[in-house]
Amino acid sequence: MDFVAAIGGTAWTVFFFILALSIIVFVHEYGHYIVGRWSGIHSEVFSIGFGPVLWKRRDKRGTQWQIAAIPFGGYVKFMGDADASSVKKADTSGLTAEERRHTMQGAPLWARSATVLAGPVANFILTFVLLAGILLAVGVPREEPTVGSLRPTPHEGTWLREGDVILAIGGLATPDRESFGAVVSGLPAQAEIDYRILRDGAELTVTGPHPFAPVVGQVMIRSAAMDAGLQAGDVILRAGGQDVAVFSALPDIIAASKGDPVPLTIWRAGETFDLTLTPRIRTVEDEAGAFVERYQIGIVAGLVFEPAMRATGPLETVDLALGQMWAMTT
């Protein structure tokens, strides 16, 4: 990747990071603000960012809403706070009892507790809304493993089609998503495998690539793969001078390089070309939960087909979103 492209990619990464952070901060601080307002605690300033103020507006309640120059955070300054941290308190001895009631330190314990708790609760609500929205928009894979769309591969001939229900792979039955995952994880590392499918009401057997052929499902940001120009959908035919039949063969090849450049042969949209990338050492969590250092190139595996999706109902959406939130939290 040339220098200009690298700079452009970094700029977009920074932009979206700041955008995401600003949304998260706004929701968090708005939780503090709105519950404080409801409980009688006055907010003097609501700021996205720190430092010099770029824009500000005062609302009818006397709160100044502003955007500041340093976009890495934000705050709500309540009445009685000496600074944006809400830790150091101003001298409120000259205030009346009614005025002190509208400060953070003068409010009753229930109001202070609710206001402090509201920030993280607002972030949990945001997470739930985002997860539920994604589920409603995208759906979930069908219970029967069904082909949605195929990734282009160098495999010749017709094998799977959109709408095919996969009944078995390599002679092992796959009646549902759980069994499909278990069967795929135990398949031999061979380039082609038999699929027994249901198509238009008839059962038939076709031969195609391993479900986890060496297909690039995702390229990680600021990785060796991104710098070398790898793209999602690329098929890695050779790595380090070895033919690659399945994606799971790549980690061992990369580890054996010990950080030396690794030549790759790539298939992309009907064309084959070579490139070289240098693995980078990363600290990752292993299967036992321990942190270890491993050489990586920054790609994630992808199935050779996208699973067919189905819509989720309201109750199922709530249940799945809460389940994902719990998994993320724990």
Long-range contact set of residues 130-135: C-beta below 8 Å, sequence gap at least 24: 131/320, 131/321, 131/324, 131/325, 132/317, 132/318, 132/321, 135/312, 135/317, 135/320, 135/321
Q: Which residues pair with 172 in a beta bridge?
A: 169
User: Which listed residue (29, 178, 285, 316) is catalytic?
Assistant: 29
Helices (H) and strands (E) in the chain, counts: 7, 18
251 to 143, 264, 280: CA distances (angstroms)? 31, 13, 12
* Strand residue runs (E) in the chain: 43-58, 64-78, 140-141, 147-150, 165-169, 172-173, 192-199, 202-209, 216-219, 235-239, 242-243, 262-268, 271-277, 280-285, 291-296, 299-301, 305-307, 309-310
C-alpha radius of gyration, the chain, whole number = 27
316 is catalytic: no
**CA 289 – CA 299 distance, rounded (Å):** 21
**CA 312 – CA 64 distance, rounded (Å):** 42
Q: Residues with catalytic annotation? A: 29
